[in-house]
Amino acid sequence: MPDETLDCTGLSCPMPIVKLAKTVKPMEAGDSITVTADDPGFEPDIQAWVDAQGHELTSLEEEGGVFTAVIELK
């Protein structure tokens, strides 16, 4: 079960990534977070953020233009 959820729907670049970075700051390795966003660039962006930070993208789904990403922090 995800530990934390973050709703970034309605926000456009760069805010979903900025908000996500701020939200995970106090979290620890092993925690996970579920992020929802409808910014069209979110899919490649979340992958790039996860790669840069060394976290793991456990799942990424899209439904009706809304992306839901589950990330496990490393």
Partner 1 sequence: MADESGQKKATIIVFSGTMDKVMAALIVATTAAAMGMQVTMYYTFWGLSALKKGATADCERNWMQKMLGWMLPKKAADLPLSQLHMAGMGAGMMKKIMEQKNMQSLDELMETAIDLDIRMIACQTSMSAMGICKEELLDTVEIAGAATYVGEAQDGAFNLFIS
Taking the complex as a whole, the smallest distance from the CB of residue 37 to partner 1 amounts, in Å, to 12
- Residues in 24-63 at the binding interface with partner 1, rule: CB under 8 A: 48-49, 52-53
Distance CA 67, CA 38 (A): 6
Query: Using the rule CB under 8 A, which residue among 6, 20, 71, 73 binds partner 1?
Result: 20
- SS3 at position 9: coil
**15-24 and 42-53 are packed helices; what angle lies between their axes, rounded to 10 degrees?**
30
The reply on whether position 8 binds partner 1 by CB under 8 A is no
Q: φ, ψ for residue 49 (rounded to 5)?
A: -65, -45
Where do contacts with partner 1 occur on this chain (CB under 8 A)? 10-15, 17-18, 20-22, 48-49, 52-53
